[in-house]
Each structure stands twice: as C-alpha cells, then as structure tokens.
Amino acid sequence: MSRRSAPAYPGFRCFFAVAAALAAAGAVRAADAPVFAPHPTMLVAEWKKERVPVVGAVSTDPIVRRNGKEERLRHDPVYFAERAPYYGPGKIVFEAVGFGGVFWRGAEGGGIHPDPDREPVNGVATYIAKLRPDTTLKGAFLAIVVCNARLLDANAPEQESQIIVRALPDLPAGMTTEVKLDTQLPTRRGKFEYLSLIFAPGGAEIESNLSDRAARYFAAVERAQLAVVLAAYLKRNASANAAVQPVLRIQPLLPAPAALAGKTVTATLTINADGTTEDIALPDDLDPVNAPALRAALAGWLFLPKLENGTPVPVRLAIPFKF
C-alpha cells in the first residue's frame, strides 16, 4: 500500500497558450448543476527514481514497463494516478462493492449507493466486488484509491491518499464475477472513502458506473492543488497586472467525434478569481450529442486568474476548439 499526498498532475507542470476574446452575445448558458470532467486514469509507480506505467499485476505485485521491457516489482512501490487521454475499450459495471466495512450496491440507472442493509464492521480488511464487464477481461487489475471522505464533499485541503493494487481473475463478458481480496486496512485520521478503478492489461482504465464518482475525487484534488499554486503565484505578483494563464487543460471525450471533424467550436466561459470555470456556454447550433462532453471537459479546466494590481478578478473569455 502506498501512502503519499495526492500527486501533482501533468497539467500543473506546464502552461498552454489559449486564444481568447470577449464572449459573443446570445450564447446558451450552461445548467447550474455541477459538472465533473471525465478522468481516464493511468497508474504509474515510482521505481528507481523514475515514474513508470503500471501495465498489469500478479497477485499483489505490479508489472511495470520501463525502456520497452516489462518487469514485476516484488515490493510495494509508491503509486500515482495521472490523467490519460482516453478510456480503454469496453465498460464494466460494479453491481456491489465493499471495503473495510463500507458497502455500496447498485441502483437503478447504473449508479451505486450506500447499502443500508450492511452494518459497518471495524477492522475488516476485505475488498468485495461484483463485476460485470461487457467484454472479456483477462489479466486486468484493480486499483483501490483510499482518501478522506470529506474530500469528496468539498474542496478540502486534506489530499492524503493511499493506492492499493491487486490482480483480478478472468472476467467473462456479460457475466457477474464476485471478487474477494484481503489487504491491509488503511489507517485514516478520519472517516475514509474509497474509489475503485479497473485497468485492462497494458494499463488502460476501463470506464465503469463508478467513473463519475472518481471524477469528483480527482476534480477535488486538482482544485486543492490549484489553491496551493495560486497562493504562491499571488505572493510573487502582489501588485502585478497579468492575463489569464491556463494551468490544466482537458481534452473532451466526444461520443461522436466525426460530427465535429475539421470544425472549430468557440466556447465562452467565466474564469473565476480562484481559477475555476463556470457559466460555460456553447453555440446554439452545436450538436446535442457532443455538447455535454465539451461542457464537461471545460468544467475541469483550471487557470491562474487575471490580475489587476495583484488582485485576482473574474473574466469572461471565448476559447476556440479546432477538431
């Protein structure tokens, strides 16, 4: 089990140039409900002072790829969850899941909710899940991300996380397979929560009915990280004037990319004083299939805000996407 503060994502280490202009009148305002950008994830392990991708697992040992070769690590490395551009093929349904006495079960619509029929059991270190993939998975592996529960409810400063990696048995397509794994129960300072990520052989995450929940977690971590970056930025620029600077840019996962191939779509949005985005608006004629995906991606963008004499101020911008 790894114990380390949540990692800084690649987007926090580089800045991108974004064309921006004043918003056009008449754009459609986004719904007020929170939107969380999808977060396809790649798992990496820290090994020999390098971060190398995890591509599989044997029992409790990860398999990593370094310099084109795969190697089984027979020890417990430190893991990091970083953004990947896409989910792997197929989907998987968690019909029920439990860990450390915290149980969830499936609900109508594909969601999963706390199981009122299961009483929490302190000291239990067993992970149980009922998994149903739509394609057969052989050599898949599981990552359990354990975090403080309040991080899922607000942009809390506490980012400590632990990641547990375990190999999975073969998962036949269309069939429900119960998985039961024993592991060390994580030590938490408060109430803990956990996320379940499934990876195909090679390391691509498989989208599941728990992916939206994972997106909430990663969005909270990224915003908490931005708050730290922003505090240092304001200190260095106490009386400066500065334009908006992108910190994290997320590419949309379009359900019908062919519909936008070769086109440019201009989205307008407000960048708040804390660097987050809101009031995302898209052109009236944008096809309704791809619009939610583009809006969800923009909801996860993070910025260093505009500065006026060292004070961050909100600004309305237009950002063109060329597909």
pLDDT in tens, 265-316: 999 999 999 999 999 999 998 988 999 999 999 999 999 999 999 999 999 9
Given this model, what pLDDT does residue 150 score? 66
Q: Judging by beta carbons within 10 Å of its beta carbon (0-12, 13-18, 19+), is residue 177 exposed, middle or buried?
A: middle
CATH number for 39-212: choose from 1.10.260, 3.30.420, 1.10.860, 2.60.40: 2.60.40
Is the pLDDT assigned to residue 31 strictly greater than 50? Answer: no
Tokens representing 86 are: 């896409």
Write out the DSSP string of 99-166: ETTEEEEE-GGG-EEE-TTS---TT--EEEEEEEESS-BSS-EEEEEEEEGGGGTS--S--EEEEEEE
Q: Residue 232 belongs to what H/E stretch? A: helix 211-236
How far is it, in rounded angstroms, from Cα 169 to Cα 43? 19
93 φ, ψ to 5°?
-110, 130
186 φ, ψ to 5°?
-65, 145
Report residue 113's pLDDT band, with 50, 70 and 90 as the boundaries.
low
Given this model, what pLDDT does residue 75 score? 82
Report residue 115's pLDDT band, with 50, 70 and 90 as the boundaries.
low
How far is it, in rounded angstroms, from Cα 173 to Cα 175? 6
Ramachandran class of 202: left when φ > 0, alpha when ψ lies in -120 to 50, beta otherwise? left
What pTM was computed for the model?
0.80
Is the pLDDT assigned to residue 25 strictly greater than 50? Answer: no
The SS3 assignment for 260 reads helix
* Domain boundaries, given as residue ranges, for the chain: 39-212
- Looking at the chain, the whole-number percentage of residues with pLDDT higher than 70 is 77
Alpha-carbon distance values, 130 to 40, 134, 197 (Å): 21, 14, 13
Tens-digit pLDDT profile for residues 52-104: 999 999 999 999 998 889 999 988 789 999 999 899 999 999 999 988 777 77
Given this model, what pLDDT does residue 221 score? 85
Pick 106 or 33 by higher pLDDT: 106
